[in-house]
Every structure is written in structure tokens, then in C-alpha cells.
Amino acid sequence: MHTSSLVNQLKPSETLAAAAKARELRGKGIDVLDFTLGEPDFITPEHIRSAAVAAMEAGHTHYTAATGIQELKQAVCDAFQRDHGVTWKPSEVTISNGAKHALHNVLVAICEPGDEVIIPTPYWVSYSALVELVGAKPVLVETTEAEGFCLSPEKLRAACTSRTRMLMLNSPSNPTGVVYPVKTLEALAQVVVEKDIVVLSDEIYDKLIYSGHTFRSFASFGDEVRKRTVIVNGVSKAYAMTGWRIGWTLAPENVSAAINRLQSQQTSNPCSVSQYAALAALTGPQQCVADMCVKFAERRDYVIRRLSAMPGLTMAEPGGAFYAFFNVSSHFGRPLMGGPAVDNATDFCTALLERAYVALVSGDAFGAPGYVRMSFATSMENLRRGMDAIEKFMA
């Protein structure tokens, strides 16, 4: 039985593959320190869990509207107005099965085969795969550590062609943790209007921002920008709800209508109980988000301090999310921890896992050779042990 060429060309997610390797070693009884997955280690806050139980007890266990319950759509609009000062209508909201599902919906609804989608590198591993899956062409535009891993308006303008349909933007960024400065976003917005392209703004980490950095939603730069912007967000990261699988899009009404038609054929509805839990997350007390962010900030500061003290490592400061993305290329060509020399970031991660039992993700997967990604969404005890092991590995 043959499988489709589109699916055959897809590569497995490197982050999930790295996590699987760590689990395999752990299954053999090896104590592996796993820093691969971008997943908060906190349990979902109690008032959200209680809302899910209450929803089940109230009988909210049946089909909902295919694109989500009206109460949650309104809550998404209210939260965006509260947090970012931009007004959306419930008819411009689609609730989906997580942000990754929402991203795919947007690409299917907007892009035609042969369209070009600009993706600044480093980029989240699924972006280019999802673009290719709809027959469009990912146009990877390199950004550097010296540039703070931020796409410049000059590079965006130079990358645009007559086939350019969309820019995919992620701030705070996975994998770098970089938060785009407001002035840079404003300059990019001017190019977007000038070139009349769509921006798919992935803002899933918008609430995980650290001291000295400011988040600004791309849709907030005026009406001409808003009508060219599709926002993707969800409850996974800020509320520690990765397994609940609730994400959403905010898009101009005609785009939302197209996404709604698509999703009505894809799935009956996002999980009903999860929708009521997400409703409690958005409308309930927000102190839990602030408390988790304080913990992430402590971990971030510790990881930056430890990595900065290790010879030959450089990085752009993560202003948001929960990732450290650091350059290990100065260690290429050296024997590490008694083993043979490594030649690239993938070899580095493989050797680190096999010799020091620490799991990171290679920057090769993110379009950034020479770099590795470490998630610090784990306990301080694990981070201390991990930093000690990495330091010993490179000594």
C-alpha cells in the first residue's frame, strides 16, 4: 500500500525524537536528565482542574460547536482586549485542538501551492513542515546571534517576491527565547503593509516575559496591520495545560470563516471538558501565571549564569519562554568526555546523551547549525545536575 508523497517527505519532529531517545535510555534504567520538551513541569492550577470536574458533573461531555463554545470565544476576545488592547469579535475566533492544529488550519486556509512563506531562522521545527504539507514553499531567512535572532525589516523586504504570501513570526521565540523589541516589530509591520502580505503571529509564550523585556502583539500596530494578521495562541504554556489541547486563532472574519469550514470537516469539536477548563483559565484568577513566571525567571537566571561561566559558549539572552539556545561550535573537533571528537550540533547532542546522559535538542533541527536548545521548564534540582553534567562533559 503506497503512502502520499507529501507525507513521505515529512520529517519527524526532532524535539519529540530527542525526547524519545531519552525515554529509551530511561527504560534501560539509566538516569537521564531530559531538557528536550517545551512543557511546564507544573500541574495545571487547581481552579482550572476544578472547572473541568464541574463541567463533567454538569454534563458538558457531548459535542460542542465544531469551532468551540461561544463562552470561550468571548473569553479569548476579552483576554486579548485586557492584555493587549485590541478588540476582536467572537466571530473572528476559532478554538482548535492546540496551537499546532491552529497553525495548520491557518496555512491551509490562506496558502496556495507554490506560495512562499517567509520563516526567520532559528524557527520552531514544525513551521517549515506544515508549510510544505500544504504545498507552499518555506523561505528561510537567517538571523544571527549578533542580531539578537530578530528578523530585520531590511531582510524581510529583500526576501519578499511576487509569490510571497505570508510571514511566520514567533515572539517570544521557540527555540531562542528572544522577545522582539517593539521598534523592530513596528518596522516589520510597515513592511508587511507595504508588501501586502499576511503575518501569522505565534504568540503562545506571550505571558512568559522576563524583567527588562516587553511583549507587544503584532495585531496592535494599527488597523492596516490588524487586518493582515492572524494570531495563534492557546493555554498550553502560560497555564501549564499542554495535555488539554486547546489553542485558537484570531483572524479577520473571512479568514475565520474559511478556518471554520475547514475545521468542521476535520474534527467534530475540540474536547468539550478542555474548553471549559480553558474558559476558567482565561476568566479566573491570573496570579497562577505570575507565580509560574517567577519560578521560570529564577531558573532562567540560574541557567544563564551557569552557561555563561562555561568556556566557549555564547547565547542571545532569552527574554521570554523557557529556552536557552546556546552556541557549542567552539567545541567541535575536540574529544569530549573521553570519546571521539564531534563535528556538529547533532553529534554534540548525541554524545552528550550517550556519555553524560543529558538530553538537549540540536540546533540543526531549528535551522541554526552549531547551536543546541535546552528547556529550563524543570526543577532547579534537575537544572543543577544538568549544568554540572554539561560542564563536566565539555571540560
Q: Would you state the pLDDT for residue 23?
A: 81
DSSP 320: B
Q: Would you state the pLDDT for residue 37?
A: 87
Tell me the percentage of the chain whose pLDDT exceeds 90.
89
Q: Is the pLDDT of residue 275 over 80?
A: yes
What residue ranges do the domains of the chain occupy? Answer: 5-43+288-394, 62-283
What's the mean per-residue pLDDT of the chain?
A: 96
Q: Which amino acid is at 130?
A: L
161-184: pLDDT as tens digits: 999 999 999 999 999 999 999 999
Pick the CATH number of 62-283 from 3.10.450.50, 3.60.150.10, 3.40.50.300, 3.40.640.10: 3.40.640.10
Q: Is the pLDDT of residue 16 over 80?
A: no
Q: How far apart are CA 244 and CA 235, in angstroms?
A: 8
Q: Is the pLDDT of residue 11 over 80?
A: no
* pTM to 2 decimal places: 0.95
- Tell me which architecture the domain covering 5-43+288-394 has in CATH: Alpha-Beta Complex (3.90)
Q: How far apart are CA 346 and CA 367, in angstroms?
A: 12
Answer for the pair 272, 61: CB distance below 8 angstroms, yes or no.
Answer: yes
- Residue 23: how many CB atoms within 10 A of its CB? 13
- Binned at pLDDT 50, 70 and 90, residue 291 comes out as very high
